[in-house]
Structure 1
Amino acid sequence: MRILQLIDTLNAGGAERVAVNFANALVDEVDASFLCATRREGVLKKSLKPEVGYLFLERSSTLDISAIKRLSAFVKHRNISHIHAHATSFFIGTILKILHPKIKLIWHDHYGESEYLKQRPKAVLKFCSRYFNHIFCVNSKLKVWAETNLKTIRVSYLPNFAELDHQYAITQLKGFVNKRIVCLANLRPQKDHITLLKAFKEVNSRFPKWSLHLVGQDFQDDYSKSIRSLIEIENLSNSVFMYGSCSDISAILKQCDIAVLSSKSEGLPLALVEYGLAKLPTIATNVGDCNLVISNENEGKLIAPQNSLALKNAIEVFINNPEKAKLAGEQLNLKVKLHFSKQATIKSIVKVYQSM
């Protein structure tokens, strides 16, 4: 089998990290592993193993004929047998399937707003889904949605896995050592940094040496401006720090003491798995499949979304009880290694590839 991971960008988002993780992990499992970034490169490019065949397509529009021809030639010359299209790359994956009917096309649904599936656009996706040989979904709600709304017969739930390599620290976090809270999330409205900032404002008034570190891509849009504005209004500039998109995630997490994800909608966030691998005491909102990662009090704190008081209280429990915090990080680490390991996930996807 010769497998191509198809992804629109290599920015440090969840779907992008999954695509890179799969391409790297499959090097030792299949005849050849490839990855194509169709629109933009990004910080994750340097995470690709040298053995992964790589193509940057520079696609400038949905129907960029020149780009489609280049990708079609790449697929033909390298005898690609399976295309694993992630997120919005399903459309160009469908075009390739039409051009090369013998290729097996898998779509991986990473949709992050699974709490709002009734508003999800589906006309184009529904048409393309008749060409999918299989759909992987990152949580159970997406699986039910795909089975109900799309034309693909074979649909399965596939939990995310993460790897934290031993990276050299490029990003040196500000603030006091042993008093850092991290939120690993791109600056998108569904990640709800606003509730997190409101909660941290109250935490900071009682524990002024503690700091909050926001790591994730800044899209320089109205939402990003609202975050910066709130930081300034609440006089948090000396306690809340923004780093943008970073490639040295494992090194960043090693510098932190508490991890938070304050989303109002999720799939199964890769950040939670990464927090667990880093043994960080973790607080997350009960959305998407977060409750599969943190399923009891021993593994972390699961709170209602958009509730700054509950988030503030959960953070303060860990600050006031360092031994309890340490134990929660260790228990989450065990859970992640048992249920969200690379070995189990890769075994599952290879089995699906082979079944085609």
Structure 2
Amino acid sequence: MENKTLRVLQVVDSLGAGGIQAFILNINRNMHLDKIKFDYVVYKNKEETEFYDESVEKMGGEIICLEKNTGIKRLKSFMDLYRLQKDKKYSVVHIHGDRAKSFFEAVVFKICKTPTIIMHSHNDRISRDKRFYHLHLGIQNIIRSLWKYVVDYEFACSTNAAQWMFSKEDVRDEKAKVINNGIDEKKFIYNKNVREEYRRKLKLEDKFVLTHVGRFSYQKNHDFLIDIFNSVNKQYSNSVLLLIGEGELKEKIQDKVRSLNLEDKVIFYGLCNEIHNILQASDIFVFPSHYEGLPVVGIEVQAAALMAVASDAISNEIKITHYWKSLSLDSPPEEWAKIILKYKDGYSRKDTSEDIIKSGFSAMAISRNLENLYMNVDNNQKSGNK
């Protein structure tokens, strides 16, 4: 009898450009698609298109759109999720998130008697500017000890992300496992010719190019980033700041740029599917996030041998090459600028792909491990050994 392709359901807020989505798609691309295909639950209107929609469809995945609700109306979303699972009967469900909503999604799948439920924590806190922040924090503290009763596997992108989501006992006993955010390391190997080509394309041949990749949100701390760049520019006027991304705070940051008369120095590039080439063209990466799980772009930057000056709020697990420098957010913009300007005259950029592989951040290896897990739990379910 011919084996059917296993369809694994990935539950994620959206397929927009972001670190969680980049991780899942990197894994998806390295799966044996004749054995496993990923379907995706997202919360959006069917008519709305998102950054990774086309990539998912090319790999044979189905995008299942549920209505995006908040507050008490979210109960309707959970009911929609219940009906979906009752209809589709996925044997493996992989939930990605960073807060309590993911727990209630997991409860829905548990009620549906889903054979295998995986929870994957992708952040180490929630934003302080979130409405009812302390209420969310209180709920998080309660559910931390309840995951083991609802899910079969607890995953996290870093130790901090595991501690944020799961109980101390589960982290201590390694029931909560760290799954590295894998990348295609070969795609990012530093290439001088690509660098020159993209600097010409961007009309930045003679500039000192600072780059940031991330959503315009409180988490990414663009407000402080502009202060840093303003300090850099005052000391070295031949510098530019390249911002990749979109988000709810973009207009606010644009206003700040105008107020500092930096319009001709700050490039709002928007979304981009050529991050690997942009990183080649850049001179330094600035990453002053308030918090992170373990950002995929942080691994990509090091794979491109691009020096990063980043917030020490990011887990030290991300430092896998000497191209990563951490600095406190309590340090003034001038201190950040001083370190950044050390690199304005260039530095050696080498192939770091072996470092990425040895450190366990190759998407290929991580994909194989997840593929084996998915297939084994599915086979055990079929044979009644779960």
Asked if TM exceeds 0.5, the reply is yes
Encode CA deviations 1:122-143: one digit per residue, 9 max, x unaligned.
Answer: 1467656521111111111232
Q: How many residues in Structure 1 have an aligned counterpart in Structure 2? A: 339
Cα separation, partners in 2 of 1:112 and 1:174, compared to 1, 3 Å: farther
Matching residue of 2:35 = 31
Matching residue of 1:4 = 9
Cα separation, partners in 2 of 1:39 and 1:155, compared to 1, 3 Å: same
Matching residue of 2:91 = 81
Q: How many angstroms does 1:17 deviate by?
A: 1.6
Encode CA deviations 1:173-211: one digit per residue, 9 max, x unaligned.
Answer: 464455321101111212212222112112112322221
Cα separation, partners in 2 of 1:192 and 1:2, compared to 1, 3 Å: same
Matching residue of 2:381 = none
Helix, strand or coil for the counterpart of 1:64?
A: helix
| Alignment partners' CA distance in 1, 2:147 and 2:61 | 26
Matching residue of 1:72 = 85
**Structural mapping, 1:44-59, within 5 Å:** 44-48=52-56, 50-59=58-67
Encode CA deviations 1:206-240: one digit per residue, 9 max, x unaligned.
Answer: 32222101112221x4xx44422321121111111
Show structure 2 runs of 5+ residues with no match.
1-5, 189-193, 378-385
Q: Could you state the TM-score of these two structures normalised by the residue count of structure 1?
A: 0.82
| Alignment partners' CA distance in 1, 2:87 and 2:207 | 49
Cα separation, partners in 2 of 1:342 and 1:32, compared to 1, 3 Å: same
Are the counterparts in 1 of residues 312 and 327 from structure 2 also a CA contact under 8 Å? yes
Helix, strand or coil for the counterpart of 1:198?
A: helix
Greater Rg by CA: 2
Matching residue of 1:335 = 355
Are the counterparts in 1 of residues 125 and 164 from structure 2 also a CA contact under 8 Å? no
Are the counterparts in 2 of residues 35 and 55 from structure 1 also a CA contact under 8 Å? yes
Cα separation, partners in 2 of 1:331 and 1:193, compared to 1, 3 Å: farther
**Structural mapping, 1:302-317, within 5 Å:** 302-307=326-331, 308-317=333-342
| Alignment partners' CA distance in 2, 1:150 and 1:36 | 31
2:275 to 236, 241, 249: 249
**Structural mapping, 1:201-220, within 5 Å:** 201-219=230-248
Code of the residue aligned with 2:287 in structure 1: it is L
Matching residue of 1:133 = 152
Cα separation, partners in 2 of 1:213 and 1:150, compared to 1, 3 Å: farther
| Alignment partners' CA distance in 1, 2:81 and 2:343 | 51
Code of the residue aligned with 1:57 in structure 2: it is C
Code of the residue aligned with 1:214 in structure 2: it is L
Matching residue of 1:148 = 167
Please state if 1:107 is matched with 2:119: yes
Q: How many angstroms does 1:273 deviate by?
A: 0.9
Code of the residue aligned with 2:63 in structure 1: it is L
Are the counterparts in 2 of residues 110 and 267 from structure 1 also a CA contact under 8 Å? yes
Q: How many angstroms does 1:277 deviate by?
A: 2.4
| Alignment partners' CA distance in 2, 1:125 and 1:47 | 34
Helix, strand or coil for the counterpart of 1:314?
A: helix
Are the counterparts in 2 of residues 285 and 303 from structure 1 also a CA contact under 8 Å? yes
Identity %: 21
Cα separation, partners in 2 of 1:216 and 1:63, compared to 1, 3 Å: same
Matching residue of 2:383 = none
Cα separation, partners in 2 of 1:259 and 1:151, compared to 1, 3 Å: closer
Helix, strand or coil for the counterpart of 2:181?
A: coil
Q: How many angstroms does 1:347 deviate by?
A: 3.6
